[in-house]
């Protein structure tokens, strides 16, 4: 995890505890203006992973989340 990711996660955690509407509105204004100019650049690896995911979906290589959770639970119990 990069320093930016860590900082972002810390901010999100703090935002979840704020209940003051005017404070959140002010933060929203700041974030809204900043996010308009930010463009996220994907690495080649991320682009490849996204393409692989799209290929899996197109070819029916998917699993329901509920089934995945069952498999994960079974795997954890076997450890």
> Can you give the pLDDT at residue 43?
93
**Residue burial 56-79, b: 16+ Cβ < 10 Å; e: rest:** eeeeeeeeeeeeeeeeeeeeeeee
pTM: 0.43
27 close to 21: Cβ distance less than 8 angstroms: no
* 22 pLDDT above the threshold of 70: yes
The answer to whether residues 62 and 56 touch, using CB atoms and an 8 Å cutoff, is yes
- 76 φ, ψ (degrees, to nearest 5): -65, -35
Confidence of residue 38 (pLDDT cuts 50, 70, 90): low
Instruction: Give tens-digit pLDDT for 49-76.
Output: 999 999 999 999 999 999 999 999 999 9
Q: How far is 34 from 36, CA to CA, in rounded Å?
A: 5
């Amino acid at each position: 995890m990069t320093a930016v990711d860590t900082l972002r996660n810390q901010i999100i955690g703090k935002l979840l505890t704020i209940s003051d509407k005017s404070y959140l509105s002010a933060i929203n204004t700041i974030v809204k203006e900043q996010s308009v100019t930010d463009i996220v650049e994907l690495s080649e690896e991320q682009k490849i992973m996204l393409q692989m995911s799209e290929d899996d979906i197109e070819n029916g290589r998917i699993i329901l989340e509920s089934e995945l959770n069952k498999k994960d639970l079974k795997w954890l119990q076997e450890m």
